[in-house]
Amino acid sequence: MTNKSDVKKLVEAETERLGFTMQLANGKFLITNPANGRTGEIPLQAMGRGLDNYKTKIRSLLNDHPTKPSPMVAATDPSPEKADTMPRDTWWSVDELVGAALANGIKPYVSGGLLHTPGPVESKSYADMLHAREAEVIAYLTKNTNTAATEGDTTVPKIGDTATITRSKPRDIFADAEALWGLLRDAARDQGDKPLTNGGVVGVQWQGALSQIIKGACPDWDTSYQQEVRQYLNRTEHTRCHRPRANPPVWWIALEWNDGGLTITKMPTPDPRAVAAAAAGKTPAKKTPAPAPAPAMPPATAGPALRALIGFEQAIQRTEAERDQAIRERDEARAERDEARAAHAGLLGELDEMKADRDRAKTELDAINAVFARYGGAQ
């Protein structure tokens, strides 16, 4: 991973050389070309060839928006009947435009009523064209269902209007998980679709670091959201890491997407006491301790023996209430323990993946040192 200072030096040098403006907004560098008003975002850190890609992205701001007609055409002949004077993206139907974007590595999908276009930097012009016709593309991708514009959504901003997109509602884990599975399925297909079985279910093998796929295609996902999407894919049997210590790790990827009738966004964590009570076939208990039964008051004419018997009964009732409360607290502790174990298992998987990345980097460093040693010995 490249240091933040390296990214900052690159951004400052390129913006000063090209006459652009730079400011830090929402944890990213916002670059603006004052000549044509185009903007772009640069994250604070970069992976692999990120610096070279950032240079390309900054320099691309020199060109006008691909859907903007030339000034001469706009001033002399505004008629859209001539094909050679039309904006580039209007030459195609929506079907053709989406197909061209897919062929150039763009993976468009709709999540939360917004259009997302992850893909390589060199194919950004196709992403720009998709966002320029965002309403049509969303309707095409969602097959004219109501998922593109549901109640509570606001107007979707254009990519050229601002570099910061504000979400009007929480992310859709289901849609993002399906999009990530699609990227992994394409990556497995590029590796030859080698068959791999997981618990008797035939899928395909993919070798690679899942974290790098996520960072490259979905840089706006924070660590917590990445874990939620990965856990969803794991629990719904769409992905499984078969050899986490391999370099790179070996994954099993399901052949087809199957939601299993699930409708998931992000559900609140259920009360462990309610879960334990439901498993025992009882009515879920409230979070507050159950009140002790009202003590039976002895009649005014009761003698010492009756009063002692009633007092003994009250002591038994209090003991039973304390016992029931202890059982509920024990069940809650067990549920929390099971949840902690599941989280621990997820962290172990991520740790294995990080170790594989470290081993791969060490292997590359050893190879580089060996080359330098050979040339040094030749001298």
In the predicted model, what is the mean pLDDT of residues 27-48? 78
Bridge partner list, 30: 23, 41
Q: Which fold has domain 173-254?
A: Arc Repressor Mutant, subunit A (1.10.10)
The closest alpha carbon to 329, from 293, 285, 292, belongs to 285
Whole-model pTM? 0.31
Question: In this predicted structure, what is the pLDDT of residue 206?
Answer: 93
115 vs 135: CA distance, rounded Å: 9
Which sequence spans correspond to the domains of the chain? Answer: 1-63, 82-169, 173-254, 272-365
| Percent of the chain surpassing pLDDT 70 | 70
- Under 8 Å CB-to-CB from 124, ≥6 apart: which residues? 57, 60
For residue 262, CA distances in Å to 178, 235, 236 come to: 12, 12, 9
In the predicted model, what is the mean pLDDT of residues 258-279? 54
Q: 3-state SS of the chain: helix, strand, coil percent to 5?
A: 50, 10, 40
The SS3 of residue 114 is: strand
Intra-chain end-to-end CA distance of the chain, in Å: 33
Instruction: Report pLDDT digits (tens) over 84-100.
Output: 333 444 467 888 888 88
The one-letter amino acid code at 87 reads P
State the maximum Cα–Cα separation within the chain, in Å, rounded to a whole number.
114
At residue 270 the predicted structure's pLDDT band, cuts being 50, 70 and 90, is low
Instruction: Report pLDDT digits (tens) over 318-360.
Output: 899 899 999 989 988 988 888 888 888 878 878 888 888 888 8
Share the mean pLDDT of the chain. Answer: 75
Question: In this predicted structure, what is the pLDDT of residue 274?
Answer: 61
CATH of domain 1-63: 3.30.920
Question: In this predicted structure, what is the pLDDT of residue 19?
Answer: 86
Question: In this predicted structure, what is the pLDDT of residue 279?
Answer: 57
Instruction: Report pLDDT digits (tens) over 120-168.
Output: 888 888 888 899 889 888 988 887 444 333 434 444 444 444 444 333 3
Q: Check if 1-63 and 173-254 are the same fold.
A: no
Is the pLDDT at 205 greater than 90? The verdict is yes
Bridge partner list, 250: 207, 243
